[in-house]
Amino acid sequence: MTDDSAGQARWSNAGVVGLGFLALALAFSARGALSLAMPAWQAEFGWSREFVSGIAAVTMLVMAAVAPVAGNAVDRHGPRPLLLFGLAAIGAGIAMVAGAGEDGWLLPLGFAVVAGVGFGAVAQHVVAAAIALRFETRRGLATGIGTSGSTGGQLLMMPLLALLLQDGGWRSGFAGLAAGALVLLLATLVVLRPAAAGAAGKRARPASDPRGTGERLRFLAASPVFHALFWSFLLCGFTTSGVIETHLLPYAAICGFPPVLGATAYGVLSGVNLCGMILAGWLSDRMHRPLLLAVIYGGRALCFVLLPFIAGDYPLLLVFAVLFGLFDYATVPVTASLVASRLGLPIMGMAMGILSAGHAVGGAAGAFAGGRVFDLAGGYDALWFGSIALAGLAATLVAGLADPRSSGPRTSGRLPARA
């Protein structure tokens, strides 16, 4: 490879990491805005908390349906079409939310269905698979940086949205997010040009796997490694996207903290989360990954112990935000690294897509369960204690996996006989 072609490849790879970061920043800020807007929607439209939580749950189910298709598309076509399609869907759906009238019917349709499809395409597993297919060294670090956009963007966006909500301007906040999706769509058109993306994809992707979709699915279904990662990632979705992403800010409001203080704490969580993802990616290149993953899930379980005691104690809420941020999405780069080396690069997108579908189903269950628990019990304590048990179970599922690094990552176009 000449110096010029090597330089172009590096810039192409950097473009995937950078655009992945920014696209996830916008997508996850839009998703997190539902939690922030929940009290305003209840007041304006007369909806129950269970109903608004149901919007979040349906969104995650739509994402679960889209995730495997999006992951498989990355294997075959690269990240460019997925990012373009997903950003367009997010922009259109969020614009529908901003334009919802007095009856509010456009809001659940725009957020859960239209934007939900976009969230399934502009997702951590798409970015993680795209990066893994392009990096042979420092894969964990690159994945950690790219996927950390899922939290990094919220560090800035959530406090800004909270300020708008405090003045009754939730529609303006969602309109700004829709405009941001349009800007990123144009940036994707410019940065990831078809020729450059195709060349980089051919260089980075392993030889085409001749096996059909059914045989690839049967391979995953027969893999104990895949099952351990799938069920732990489903529980991961329950305790993060479902519980914390949907219900932490409403819980903070119940505990007496105004929207700006609650959003600031969430911004701190997101900022630490960014560092936690990059650190986890760096560590996944250097240590026993199943043990690292088990420690992350175990640490997350311990964090939930603090939540019943934060009422009126803002410093304790900040302590929770810092500690939980270290363990929140830190599972993503470690899981992606394990998928690449234990299951193989040829099936990376499909595997990560199915794992993300499980994560979204778990998130939907957590979001709905939180709303149901609150409406029945008038509080969230049962949700916090249940999350402790489920995060501990996730740690148990992955702790016993092997990590045979000496065999190196599987980059052959043929699927291994067993994982």
- pLDDT at res. 360: 83
- pLDDT at res. 152: 73
Residue 160 has pLDDT above 80, yes or no: no
Identify the CA nearest to 60 among candidates 327, 246, 185, 221. Answer: 246
pLDDT, averaged across the chain: 82
Whole-prediction pTM: 0.74
92-106, 150-164, 187-201, 262-276: least confidently modelled range: 187-201
- pLDDT at res. 203: 44
Averaged pLDDT, 177-197: 78
- Residue 207 confidence class, pLDDT cut points 50, 70, 90: very low
Q: Any idea what DSSP says for residue 208?
A: P
Residue 181 has pLDDT above 90, yes or no: yes
- Residue 226 confidence class, pLDDT cut points 50, 70, 90: very high
- Residue 227 confidence class, pLDDT cut points 50, 70, 90: very high
- Residue 324 confidence class, pLDDT cut points 50, 70, 90: very high
* Burial (CB count <10 Å: 0-12, 13-18, 19+), residue 240: buried
100-104, 313-317, 370-374: least confidently modelled range: 100-104
Could you give all domains of the chain from N- to C-terminal order, each with its CATH number? 8-201+216-402 (1.20.1250.20)
* Residue pair 315/398 in contact by the 8 Å Cβ criterion: no
* Residue pair 161/33 in contact by the 8 Å Cβ criterion: yes
